[in-house]
Structure 1
């Protein structure tokens, strides 16, 4: 099933099942988080009832929103090619860190800055190196702690496309503090156009548990990246299991695959080519991400108003900081 959140006219947002060019609404007041928490079997029952009881809305006449407001958003980095290229671009170092091979490392990003299809990502005014990231995200459907990978597989509710918009110049500066990206990432993350339930993509699973889905990225209609999701180093089951290790995942958590290689973002290409080719995104550009078996997610590039300044840092001499005499 394809499950979407949408509005029709002035009506409140509804969840529905997409069938062909129609969308059939679930009961009013039900959110996607409610559907996920109820489980896949209940989601299928709701979908069958919606199709049987409703006339549906023409997909072309509704506005698709972000499919869900996530409980949390983790973003992994599962593609070696991406790591190598972006590392060279962002901090000037070659190769893949040995620690990358230990586990599907992730960072947390902002669940309050989620955008849906065809929305504008407003980059910080201070950013000049604007970038997109082509990802697939898994939606967790069941709570758990320190899951096995087998447990994690049964906890997958579905998948959606994710665009982890990135302010590369801000990211490069702040990551020198060794805490990972912050303002270079947390202004916008696009999800959509809907959630495809896990059962729909089982036919694409290879013997290693990876999903063999072709994924492409285009800027203003010109393809700049193409890769296959099964080129990842880690499965989604591994990502969920690792996220839950000595911790907890909840229904409605979203975990990104990390950016695909071979042009899954501009920074990777900059690192490989030694120049900004293609150029950074410009205001008004349209980015189109296509993932086989899921759909198409489009987003536009905007620029936010300049942020108010911060009070300058209070610099202290090390002797003062240690409480020693000056």
Structure 2
């Protein structure tokens, strides 16, 4: 089943997407609430409205499928790391520590955008980039879960928009990425429940989904989700070690390889321009759907003030 959150005539509703229409759920139902109720209950609620009227998708604005309490983004594709290390930090190869355990950072849940929203260039950035990912939504609360104990409610497409110039500066301080990833993350077009994608699992438990991204109609990258170093169940398990994950938490796969972002290609010597106002970035993930965002000019702000050197006196 495909659950969406949408806006129509100023009203925000949750609904079930079937074909080119969305069947509205009751006004008090949210997708996050359905996730927290559990997949069997959510499917029952969704099924109850399928015999009712639907709204054409072209009439609505698709919002992020849910309002997650947290968003973690992993870096689970080895090929992506190979290219980006050269582009962002000036290094080469993949550090041995990458292979030891999954790595993630927390990103901004207040900066989520819908599947077809415009995306402003972050203030001060001249190296704006996309990142093609898939996100899993945690299905139940848990702490120190084993992979077998993990429940995933569903999946959606994720574009982790990145200001590479800001990211480069931050990572030289060995803290980040932070502001370089703070401006926008697209989620959409809807949340596909996990049961719909089980047929794509390979023999090792990975989802063998085709991922593609284009800029202005020209395909830039293509990969398989099964090239992740760890399946999503292991990513959720790792995130829960010694702490909690909650139903509705979003975990990104990290950017796929083979052109999943411009920075990877820059690191491999490809001379492609950074994103600029007017560029249209389209991502399609097999079994999930397509998101399409237009880059627009961002707000112009004064330069950031540099730190004031201090004499390091210890007494007034």
For Structure 1 versus Structure 2, the TM-score category normalised by the shorter chain is over 0.9
Secondary structure in 2 matching 1:307: coil
Which of 200, 205, 225 is the matching residue for 1:229?
A: 225
Q: What's the secondary structure of 1:175's corresponding residue?
A: helix
3-state SS, counterpart of residue 198 of structure 2: helix
Alpha-carbon offset, residue 310 of structure 1: 4.5
Deviation at 1:124, TM superposition (A): 1.8
CA distance in 2, matches of 1:248, 1:13: 30
Instruction: Give the structure 2 partner of residue 5 of structure 1.
Output: 5
Q: Does 1:75 align with 2:63?
A: no
Alignment of 1:147-166 (within 5 A): 147-152=145-150, 155-166=151-162
Deviation string for 1:91-138 (max 9, x for gaps)? Answer: 110000111011110000000000001111212231111100000000
**TM alignment of 1:125-204, pairs within 5 A:** 125-152=123-150, 155-204=151-200
Give the whole-Å Cα distance in 1 for the aligned partners of 2:302 and 2:273. Answer: 28
Any residues of structure 2 matched to 1:58-137 within 5 Å, and which?
58-137=56-135
Task: Report the Cα distance in structure 2 between the residues aligned to 1:104 and 1:55, rounded to whole angstroms.
Answer: 44
- 1:295 maps onto 2:289 in alignment: yes
Q: Is the 8 A contact 2:121 2:276 kept in 1?
A: no
- SS state at 2:118 partner: strand
State how far apart, in whole Å, the 1-side matches of 2:182 and 2:23 are. 33
Structure 1 residues 162-171 or 56-65, which shifts more? 56-65
Q: Deviations over 1:191-222 (max 9, x none)?
A: 00000000000000111110000000000110
Aligned equivalent of 1:306, options 297, 300, 303? 300
Q: Which of the numbers 231, 234, 249 marks the counterpart of 1:253?
A: 249
Kindly report which structure 2 residues correspond to 1:38-49, keeping only aligned pairs within 5 A, or say none: 38-49=37-48
How far apart, CA to CA, are the structure 1 residues paired with 2:20 and 2:282? 20
Aligned residues: 315
TM-score of the superposed pair, with normalisation by structure 2: 0.97
Q: Is the 8 A contact 1:125 1:303 kept in 2?
A: no
* Ranges in structure 2 where 5+ consecutive residues have no aligned partner: none
Considering only aligned residues, what root-mean-square deviation do their CA atoms show, in Å? Answer: 1.3
Query: Which of 194, 216, 224 is equivalent to 2:212?
Result: 216
Q: Following TM superposition, where does structure 1 have runs of at least 4 consecutive aligned residues deviating by more than 3 angstroms?
A: 308-312
**Separation in 1, partners of 2:280, 2:243:** 38
Which shifted more, 306-315 or 111-120? 306-315
- Note if contact 2:212-2:284 (Cα within 8 Å) is conserved in structure 1: yes
- Please give the secondary structure, in 2, of the residue aligned with 1:260: coil
Task: String of CA shifts for 1:34-75, please: whole Å, max 9, x gaps.
Answer: 1111111111111111112x2111222222111111110000
